[in-house]
Homo-oligomer: A and B are copies of this chain.
């Protein structure tokens, strides 16, 4: 850090997440001396606005990171794998929003409300968990700490923006085609690099990311393994069982999650959980069925918090509950969690 503050580079400055990282950084408590937006050759020369100043985007190369203190990366796993070690070599600390380093045992996987203490173990790279994992951790970790967790069974309702701006554009285009009564086409969803593509508009796609050999999608794999890493378990430690079904839904922004969880403590009531979560960091409890108050993507959009509602016991299984969680997947699920990690690094003096 210079006397003027931190020199910050944004890797992937033009994407749905990158643009929001810049916005969140503007509204953070980090003292930014300079901002260097980086992207592919294709976007070099375009500009972004930061604190009222126009800044030109440069092509990302290893040399781009000379003199940089903090890198906030969201340009895809391959780019992070290639360039973040170069940034670390040049003295920068990197917060990576891709999946490239998440399961690396030398890389802390951090949701600040949950495990900010892990930041002290960083070796230059800190990973941001998957969007659907983050919001579930914010809601479940207070419960795990107080009452113990035996099992998590989650079904997700994930927005198109999780696949980036092109996926949003495709969904809107399909919707326009559908209302005209014409045949919809698809080139991006569910996974751009996969063989087949299907319309998402007015549809449900139970595939997020590619499939593993065991029949789980990679998104489901991420939710299971990242949850265990964050909650300090592993697949060999069956203390906490986790399983997931991930589904893409025709929503632009905001992931929903229907979560069933079983606690060690069988005497907990719904009111106990509401009380606990209403005082938990980053959580807003929206749970009043009589007033039809429950989390919705449209009302969560643009907010940094994770919204929790529909908390109710499984009456036939003591200690087990159903819950509904919604958060803005581009903010808490990506840009805000990334900037929030950087804030914590600064606060804890973990950046030179």
Contact = CB atoms under 8 A, between A and B. Distances in A.
Given A179-B175, A258-B245, A215 B316 contact: no
Contacts of A178: 175
Interface residues of A, number: 63
Interface string A149-185: 0010101010000000000000010011011000000
B317 A250 contact: no
Contacts of A194: 292
A204 B243 contact: no
A216 interface: yes
A235 B315 CA distance: 9
A252 to B, nearest CB: 5
A116 B175 CA distance: 41
Contacts of A251: 202-204, 250
B204 A249 contact: yes
A232 interface: no
B247 A250 contact: no
Contact of A256 (B204, B289, B292): B204
Nearest to A293: B196
A221 to B, nearest CB: 11
Contacts of A256: 204, 206, 247
B316 A242 contact: yes
A216 B316 CA distance: 14
Interface in A305-343: 309-312, 314-317, 320, 322, 324, 326
Contacts of A320: 243
Contacts of A242: 316
A203 B294 CA distance: 12
A289 B215 contact: yes
A290 interface: yes
A20 B55 CA distance: 59
A147 interface: no
B249 A316 contact: no
A203 to B, nearest CB: 5
A198 interface: yes
B294 A206 contact: yes
Q: For A155, A194, A249, A294, which residue has the most chain B Cβ atoms within 10 angstroms?
A: A155
A214 B292 CA distance: 14
B316 A243 contact: yes
Given A153-B260, A297-B203, A317 B215 contact: no
A303 interface: no
A250 to B, nearest CB: 5
Contacts of A247: 157, 256, 258, 324
B214 A312 contact: yes
Closest 7 pairs between A and B when the two form their complex, measured CB to CB: A211-B289, A155-B258, A155-B155, A215-B312, A241-B316, A245-B258, A204-B256
Given A215-B310, A247-B258, 4 more contacts: A202-B298, A243-B315, A245-B258, A258-B258
9 contacts: A175-B175, A199-B298, A207-B292, A215-B310, A215-B311, A217-B289, A245-B322, A247-B258, A249-B249
